[in-house]
Amino acid sequence: MSGSVSNNGCANKGGALTVYLGHIVDPIDEDNYRDIPEGALVVSSDGLIEAVGNWSELESHYSANAGINARVINCGQKLIMPGMIDMHIHLPQVTQIGKSGDTLLSWLEKYIFPAESRFSDLSYAEKIAAWFFDQLACNGTTLAVVFTTIHKEATDAAFSIAAAKGMRAIMGKVLMDRNAPAALLEDSKKSISDSENLAAKWHGHDDGRLLYAFTPRFAITATDELLNECGKLWQSNPGTYMHTHLSESIEEVKKVSSLFPDSRSYLDVYDRSGLCGSRSVFAHSIHLDDENLNLLHRKKCALAHCPSSNFFLKSGIFPIERVKSAGVQFGLGSDVAAGPQMSIFGVMKDANFIQPQIWISPRELFYRATRGGAKALQLDDRLGSLESGKEADFIIVDPTLKNACPRDILEHETDDILSALVFLGDDRMIDATYIRGRQVFKREEEANASSELHKVRGGKQ
């Protein structure tokens, strides 16, 4: 594979350009990527990709066009790749990473519900949200699909913080009206009207950098009434998302069938409430029959495969081959805190390791973590790869920042470099993160992120 110059044909209208020089690795599909070792990514001042290609060819194009004003940032042999897309993560759970010893339902009771109850305290919620978005940035995640908590004010604050920090998210307040501690139960009508107000305020903010997801937690903590009203609300807000959990553990599936005896399956509970369709995102989706998979495909639903979480809670194995042969779109999710890491590099590794008999290639995992996720979310016209006209969401990666990585890794074949990212990668390899052309993380500034952490540690977690 070799790269060639491509640009969108639009003349630079005199605004400043920034040119990032480095080794561009850009996903095409499950089996292919574009490989440009001496590449250039040209970004316009409004955060769009103006051109991508070999620097030698682009340089002559730009120098032939007098008046183009470009700043050049030379990243040497470092990799330039699209930012990671985390299709499922819980903001309030960053304080609970690594607390194990249980399967899903008792883990929720023991650690998660108490942690989420603390978000009624707005100043605490603000501190954790700031920490959360800083952590996403230093992990190279440029789009996350985020659960907050039931709390409207805390969710509003999370949106404000993401907006100010330049982060990109699809996010929503959780809806719950049964089977949880009193502090996390809401009146169904208030849960719906709070969600409606938040969506009206935030969906589409800053030209779509922030999008809203209606977020019923899972069938166990929702009445039929809440699910039905949520379905109506989602359908009446075109372009918004619906984000929930589906068929994660066997114990959970059994409980859903006892709570909804008239439903044919767990998925059917959501489908009857109008919660299946394009821009619905189902986390986990492990224990599904072929009829379920066909419905997910027919209705263009997206799945978030969360292998690290599935290992941690011993929930089961995502049926990757059946999902692919049914044509269902999916990407990867960290599912922090059931997933004990935010790094999507680590999630890629677990997506390979969790399959006992199938080898998932680094090429495919790289695609799933980027362009495949964007496609599942119906955002691949704007995000997920480095092509002219798309938004400049990208990361600069230096595998040698991690001591365990071979010192000469950047001299190896690109497939071997990708393999090192998948099997050795974590946040230590991220040198810088950009969202819509704006730098949201740079390694030298790491000290600031950890001082944020120290401030948060002032209180009990």
335 lines the binding site for Zn ion (CB under 5 A): yes
Closer residue to ligand GUN (CB): 173 or 245? 245
245 lines the binding site for ligand GUN (CB under 6 A): yes
Residue whose Cβ sits closest to ligand GUN = 338
Q: What is the 3-state secondary structure (H, E, C) of the chain?
A: CCCCCEECCCCCCCCCEEEEEEEEEEECCCCCEEEEEEEEEEEECCCEEEEEEEHHHHHHHHHHCCCCCEEEEEEEEEEEEECEEEEEEEHHHHHHCCCCCCCHHHHHHHHHHHHHHHHHCHHHHHHHHHHHHHHHHHCCEEEEEEECCCCHHHHHHHHHHHHHHCCCEEEECEECCCCCCHHHCCCHHHHHHHHHHHHHHHCCHHHHCEEEEEEECCHHHCCHHHHHHHHHHHHCCCCCEEEEEECCCHHHHHHHHHHCCCCCCHHHHHHHCCCCCCCEEEEECCCCCHHHHHHHHHCCCEEEECHHHHHHCCCCCCCHHHHHHCCCEEEECCCCCCCCCCCHHHHHHHHHHCCCCCCCCHHHHHHHCCHHHHHHCCCCCCCCCCCCCCECCEEEECHHHCCCCCCCHHHCCHHHHHHHHHHHCCHHHEEEEEECCEEEEEHHHHHHHHHHHHHHCCCCC
Closer residue to ligand GUN (CB): 149 or 292? 149
90 lines the binding site for ligand GUN (CB under 6 A): yes
104 lines the binding site for ligand GUN (CB under 6 A): yes
Q: Is the peptide bond before 337 cis (omega within 30 degrees of 0)?
A: yes
Q: Is 151 exposed, middle or buried (0-12, 13-18, 19+ CB in 10 A)?
A: buried
275 lines the binding site for ligand GUN (CB under 6 A): no
Minimal distance, residue 283 CB to ligand GUN, in Å: 7
79 lines the binding site for ligand GUN (CB under 6 A): no
186 binds, among Zn ion, ligand GUN, none (CB under 5 to 8 A by kind): none
112 lines the binding site for ligand GUN (CB under 6 A): yes
Q: Which residues pair with 178 in a beta bridge?
A: none
Minimal distance, residue 108 CB to ligand GUN, in Å: 6
Minimal distance, residue 245 CB to Zn ion, in Å: 6
Minimal distance, residue 371 CB to ligand GUN, in Å: 25
- The stretch near Zn ion (CB under 5 A) out of 253-261, 331-339, 366-374, 418-426 is 331-339
218 lines the binding site for ligand GUN (CB under 6 A): yes
Minimal distance, residue 93 CB to ligand GUN, in Å: 7
Minimal distance, residue 413 CB to Zn ion, in Å: 36
- The stretch near ligand GUN (CB under 6 A) out of 6-14, 37-45, 104-112, 365-373 is 104-112
Query: Between the CA of residue 13 and those of 9, 10, 19, 207, 386, what are the distances in Å?
Result: 12, 8, 16, 21, 21
Minimal distance, residue 212 CB to ligand GUN, in Å: 19
Minimal distance, residue 247 CB to ligand GUN, in Å: 10
Q: Indicate which single residue of 17, 338, 365, 369 sits in contact with ligand GUN (rule: CB under 6 A).
A: 338
Closer residue to ligand GUN (CB): 245 or 375? 245
104 binds, among ligand GUN, Zn ion, none (CB under 5 to 8 A by kind): ligand GUN
Closer residue to Zn ion (CB): 26 or 335? 335
According to DSSP, the β-strands at 6-7 and 430-435 are unpaired
Quick note: the x/- pattern for Zn ion over 288-327, rule CB under 5 A, is ----------------------------------------
422 binds, among Zn ion, ligand GUN, none (CB under 5 to 8 A by kind): none
Conformational region of residue 311, where left means phi above 0, alpha means psi within -120 to 50, and beta covers everything else: alpha
Minimal distance, residue 185 CB to ligand GUN, in Å: 14
| Interaction residues for Zn ion, span 271-290 (CB under 5 A) | 283
Residue whose Cβ sits closest to Zn ion = 335
Q: Indicate which single residue of 217, 287, 305, 375 sits in contact with ligand GUN (rule: CB under 6 A).
A: 217
Minimal distance, residue 423 CB to ligand GUN, in Å: 24
219 binds, among ligand GUN, Zn ion, none (CB under 5 to 8 A by kind): none
Distance from C-alpha of 414 to C-alpha of 420, rounded to nearest angstrom:
10
243 lines the binding site for ligand GUN (CB under 6 A): no
Binding site for ligand GUN (CB under 6 A): 90, 104, 108, 112, 217-218, 245, 248, 309, 335, 338
- Contacts with Zn ion by CB under 5 A lie at 283, 335
